[in-house]
Structure 1
């Protein structure tokens, strides 16, 4: 088997953000292997000043392009596997600090499970008992979008952070990865004797004895502060995600057929009723969001594109063009052709 391509699929929808602290660490990897990170960041449109914002979010699509360029320039077999010595304790931001200040390794992994979305808004982490040991699993969506070096840097960085917590690498029994088997050198740098490839999600099986190990950085006073900050950030993130992220998903999926409430609930891994309740808290509804996204896109198409009415209707996810005309009357009080003519005249 060969490993997956080092460039993300051009057909995949580029979406999602990552914490600025994690992005800074990944860019440090590029710099410390001898590449010109400033030039590469400039070439993909990344303002490096944004990496210093403790609450900043960096579009992953930009980082994917950056790692693809860096991989092409690098003389190394895999620059993503060269990063363990470049890690600093703050690379996970507030999530890392909540892990560092808690009492033992098991609790640290539970903190990662709870706050993972603050690191990567597409990342889902969960922990399960397995014959007395603990399996930590992670799902990131479509792996084809993620450059190989980008993901390897993440795996190696996480293991190195575990070493920061414990003083030595944790005892592990198995690693599952979503990619195909790499070459023998790359496989040997992952610290695992038992590695399974092309799995449905990433996971690491930690030994039971490691879970109870106390952390050198445990500090109950700082821990309360860190958790309060993380909880506030999580509440704010989920509140924003409930509307803005849903708008983004709907906008990206309109063409041909709009997402239904059920489709959206599946994408967000929640029940329809849970999704409805979350939107009610935000004093809105799926129908209102869908209607407003269509209205705003309709304005853009009518004023700034040369698409005809049938093409615009399809782009807005209407099955019948008559539905587009009815919606236009509700939005603008006139047909879409009249709206285009009126504003083009102005």
Structure 2
């Protein structure tokens, strides 16, 4: 199953870059990985395509030569650096309220994502804070680890700096023992969701930095931002999915896509013009995102990838991939296979 890769806030890539600069400042700064271009249809330029973000995280592993770097990114993090979101978090009344604010934000900025709290399936009287990205083969374990440690750090900052989860759960087994050694927490693998287990009294703990008046202001602003962007994100996700359905049929033009969207060509052009986005830009982005998902399927040949993406010749796909990511599709596939070993 293939999914549109969606978006993610630059807040998270900026934090990774800050970590790389602070921990590896002696390395050539010109070699720092690049987070990728901003999403054109979100005009505040605070968002990346998540496929670009995953590439960025993989490059960060190569840059640091540290497969567990994602567990260190938030060691010295100040949540107020996140702007409205950060101030809403630190001024929440309880930890549960702070986590709920963060979850709402993640659900907006990182589409195809689930994040929620449920009663623990392993420890009575506790709760699991679950996180999952539904991006099939595109999903990146660095993102999972970074997201889990984000919430761990949130609880440590607002509640107790020495706090650790009761349990860490992962839906994969990659580097699980290394994570257990690094965190001092038992790790279980092959779970239905990635999660950290939190005690009930911790979840309901009061936040000492809380300012209810400031929280109300920040939360209202954040809610307005979420409402404004949700409609835009939904429209472009549907549009990108329509483009992908037509890619391999030699019919991927603006007229066919408009028909798939149940609107006229003129209406679609007007909607795109409202966001200063061209149809050719969208087509290129969809090909770029799906290329990685297809390459992760090792049973799919390079020619089949090119044809699925609507290229009549393999050479055209090879040139495009090199332009997108700076490496060849073969080099990308070798890197992914190396990660799985």
- TM-score, structure 1 normalization: 0.63
Assess, with a 3 A threshold, how the Cα gap between structure 1 residues 243 and 184 changes in structure 2: closer, same or farther: closer
Aligned to 1:165: 158
The 8 Å contact of residues 81 and 152 in structure 1, kept in 2 or not, is answered as yes
Q: Please state if 1:190 is matched with 2:183.
A: yes
Query: 2:198: which partner in 1?
Result: 206
1:164 Cα deviation from its structure 2 partner: 1.1
The SS at the match of 1:134 is strand
- Deviation string 1:227-267 (CA, Å, 9 cap, x unpaired) is 1111101101112123122112222333358xxxxxxxxxx
Q: For 1:12 and 1:86, locate their aligned partners in 2 and report how far apart those are by CA, in whole Å.
A: 36
1:287 aligned counterpart, secondary structure: coil
Q: 1:112 Cα shift?
A: 2.6
Aligned to 1:263: none
SS at match of 1:90: helix
Q: How does 1:105-184 map to 2 (within 5 A)?
A: 105-130=95-120, 131-142=124-135, 144-170=137-163, 172-182=165-175, 184=177
Matched residue pairs, number?
A: 263
Q: 1:106 to 1:210 in 2, by over 3 A?
A: same
Tell me the SS of whatever aligns to 1:237. helix
1:237 corresponds to which residue? 229
Within the candidate set 187, 204, 212, 1:220 is matched to 212
Residue 288, structure 1, aligned to residue 278, structure 2: no
Report the TM-score, using the length of structure 2 for normalisation. Answer: 0.64
Contact residue 100 and residue 218 of structure 1 kept, 8 A: yes
CA-atom RMSD, angstroms? Answer: 4.0
How do 1:269-288 and structure 2 match up within 5 A?
286-288=261-263
SS of residue in 2 equivalent to 1:157: helix
Query: Unpaired segments of 5 or more residues in structure 2?
Result: 250-258, 270-278, 285-306, 311-341
Q: Distance in 2 between matches of 1:125 and 1:112?
A: 9
Aligned partner of residue 223 in structure 1, secondary structure: helix
The answer for the alignment partner of 2:71 in structure 1 is 81
**Separation in 1 of the partners of 2:54 and 2:194?**
19
1:67 equivalenced with 2:60 (yes/no): no
Paired residues of 1:30 and 1:79 also in contact (CA < 8 A) = no
Structure 2 contact 148–196 (Cα < 8 Å) conserved? no
CA shift, 1:92, in A, is 4.5
Say if 2:71 and 2:149, in contact at 8 Å, map to a contact too. yes
**Does 2:94 correspond to 1:104?**
yes
Aligned-partner Cα distance in 2 for 1:92–1:121: 19
User: Deviation per CA, 1:5-64, whole angstroms, max 9, x where unpaired?
Assistant: xxxxxx9767222112122112222222316585245x647479x9xx987112223332
| 1:101, distance to aligned residue in structure 2 (A) | 1.1
Which runs of 5 or more structure 1 residues have no equivalent in the other structure? 1-10, 258-283, 302-311, 316-346
**Superposed structure 1 runs of 4+ greater than 4 Å apart:** 11-14, 35-38, 289-293
Measure, in 2, the Cα distance between the counterparts of 1:227 and 1:215: 16
Mapped pair 1:247 → 2:239: yes
Alignment of 1:1-80 (within 5 A): 15-34=5-24, 36=27, 38-41=29-32, 44=34, 46=36, 56-80=46-70
* Alpha-carbon shift at residue 170 of structure 1 (Å): 4.0
Shift of 1:133: 2.3
